[in-house]
Structure 1
Amino acid sequence: MRSSLNQAFTLIEPGPVVLVTTHDGGKDNIMTISWTMVMDFKPVFAITTGAWNHSFAALRKHRECVIAIPTVDLLDQVVGIGTCSGADTDKFSRFGLTPVPAMQVRPPLIKECVANIECQVIDIIERHDIVVLEGVAAYLDTDRKEQRRLHAVGDGTFIVDGRRLDRRKMMATKLPAGV
């Protein structure tokens, strides 16, 4: 069965949906990003965004952000954040999210998210609007009851994490120490 080429991205898009907080020198903002990539164990990540997002200018100028990882119970806030602009909306207030001061960057963590990663921008690949980030601090709320992450298919639907399958012993020679 063939799939339409213009929908091919939906076959591999389902990475985790994240919320990215920025600070533009005056106020905090949040944007929803579904195009993410782990680039290295160090940790280095990439997100794809560009001038169409209000937060992009803050990423370029201040070169820092927080990647906040929401869970399934935040789906409506995640979608709402992605469908309005920080240029005219206080997204923390509108979507009932709590900013928490970060330790190493100015943009805040999001209390309601299961995990937050403070990041520095280490490169911007202009041709593809790829922002390369290096994690400088990470937080995981292991006490949070809901742990299931969201994955955008790219067509307005989402997939939710299921059960975890453990193959650590089989992969032990490929995993970095401490993972």
Structure 2
Amino acid sequence: MKKHNWPVENVRHWLEPGPIVLISSRWQEQDNIMTLGWHTILEFSPSLVGCMISAGNASFERIRQSGECVINLPDVTMADTVAKIGNCSADTTDKFAAFSLTAEKSQQVSAPSIAECHANFECRLYDDTMIKRYNFFIFEVVAARVKPEPEWPQTLHYAGDGVFRTDGEVIDRKKWFTKVS
């Protein structure tokens, strides 16, 4: 089958590999939640995660000032909530209240975790050198909590234009991996 040209501004449809996350933050006693799809693992130890947070987002300055956040992993049951959070403003909406989410005390950071999410990864700003130019934050995960079940939650992946896809089946190829991680 012949391939056809694809608009370069829409490559995220194919390359957005990571699950959608909800970033919770706190600055000056104000909590916020934002939906984020632009993140990547940068290092195993220390555990570093890079996140591109638009400067136009209310969370940008809150996270920049506080130097911390929580990366919360929702599952497919939260699809409507994830979409709605991504399409409302912190200036007019208390997102915890509006979406009936439980702000849970975090272990290592002041930003709240979201109890309804499958996992919570508490982060501190590790490197801020790319924020000014690229809005790219590098965080160190300083605490992590994950629900024991399901082992592989069905997560959401954004394809752009309001369309999400979900994970597929788990394929185990451990026998081919000879390096110990």
Same-fold status (TM-score > 0.5)? yes
Contact 1:73 1:146 (8 Å CA) reproduced: no
Q: Give the superposition deviation at 1:99.
A: 0.8
CA distance in 1 between counterparts of 2:51 and 2:24 reads: 13
Alignment match, 1:133? 139
More off after superposition, 59-68 vs 49-58: 49-58
Alignment match, 1:73? 77
Alignment match, 2:18? 15
Runs of at least 5 residues in structure 2 that lack an aligned partner in the other structure: none
CA distance in 2 between counterparts of 1:144 and 1:86 reads: 31
Q: 2:173 aligns with which of 160, 167, 171?
A: 167
CA distance in 2 between counterparts of 1:67 and 1:16 reads: 11
Alignment match, 1:101? 105
Q: Give the superposition deviation at 1:144.
A: 5.2
CA distance in 2 between counterparts of 1:143 and 1:17 reads: 19
**Secondary structure of the structure 2 residue equivalent to 1:153:** strand
Runs of at least 5 residues in structure 1 that lack an aligned partner in the other structure: none
**Secondary structure of the structure 1 residue equivalent to 2:177:** helix
Q: Give the superposition deviation at 1:50.
A: 2.7
Runs of 4+ in 1 over 4 A off after TM superposition: none
Percent identity between the two aligned chains: 37
Q: Give the superposition deviation at 1:37.
A: 0.5
Alignment match, 1:62? 66
CA distance in 1 between counterparts of 2:145 and 2:18 reads: 20
Q: 2:38 aligns with which of 32, 35, 38?
A: 35
Return the letter of the residue paired with 1:97: L
TM-score, normalised via structure 2 length = 0.91
Q: 1:148 aligns with which of 150, 154, 163?
A: 154
**Secondary structure of the structure 1 residue equivalent to 2:33:** strand
